[in-house]
């Protein structure tokens, strides 16, 4: 019999489908959640905004075009506000939000450079206030 493999789930301010059933199920079973892509492939890192939604490479152009919409911009606007209020980067605030979510034990980071990794790891020191978590949780990318 094959050994069961854990399912990887994407979870970020822009991908919250897991909140409906998967996270509540994991909590009910006493399981931790280790989500991947807390920065939604870099969209929540701070490099994209209403003013700049240019793909870094031709291979990412279609993906960026599909995600350049008002719903995404509302999330980015709120994330920028919260990051400024906490004097941190958007990437750190986005990761801190994911870590604050019930059931999440640790996100899987996908940094490409040492500088990105250092910035992502610094999220461990970010303490979002309850009102920051609430504001980010309320803003929807739908």
Longest dimension (CA), the chain: 53
Q: What is the pLDDT of residue 1?
A: 53
The architecture that CATH gives domain 17-138 is Alpha-Beta Barrel (3.20)
Digit-by-digit pLDDT tens for the chain (142 residues) are: 555 445 568 999 999 999 999 999 988 998 889 999 999 988 899 888 888 877 777 777 777 777 788 899 999 999 999 999 999 999 999 999 999 999 898 899 988 899 999 999 999 999 999 999 999 999 975 5
- From 91, 86, 80, select the one nearest 39 (Cα to Cα): 91
pTM over 0.85: yes
How far apart are alpha carbons 85 and 129 in whole angstroms?
A: 10
Q: What is the pLDDT of residue 92?
A: 98
Q: What is the pLDDT of residue 108?
A: 93
Phi and psi of 33, rounded to 5°?
-115, 130
Q: Determine contact, residues 37/13, Cβ cutoff 8 Å.
A: no
Q: Which residues sit opposite 78 in a β-bridge?
A: none
Chain Cα centroid distance, residue 91: 8
């Amino acid at each position: 019999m094959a050994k069961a493999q854990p399912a990887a789930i994407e979870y970020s301010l822009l991908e919250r489908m897991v909140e409906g059933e998967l996270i509540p199920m994991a909590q009910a079973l006493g399981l931790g959640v280790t989500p991947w892509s807390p920065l939604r492939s870099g969209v929540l890192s701070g490099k994209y905004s209403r003013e700049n939604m240019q793909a870094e490479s031709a291979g990412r152009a279609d993906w960026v075009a599909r995600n350049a919409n008002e719903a995404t911009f509302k999330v980015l606007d709120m994330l920028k506000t919260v990051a400024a209020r906490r004097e941190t980067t958007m990437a750190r605030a986005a990761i801190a939000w994911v870590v604050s979510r019930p059931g999440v034990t640790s996100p899987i980071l996908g940094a490409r450079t040492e500088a990105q990794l250092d910035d992502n790891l610094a999220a461990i020191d970010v303490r979002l206030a309850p009102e920051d978590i609430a504001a980010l949780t309320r803003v929807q990318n739908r």
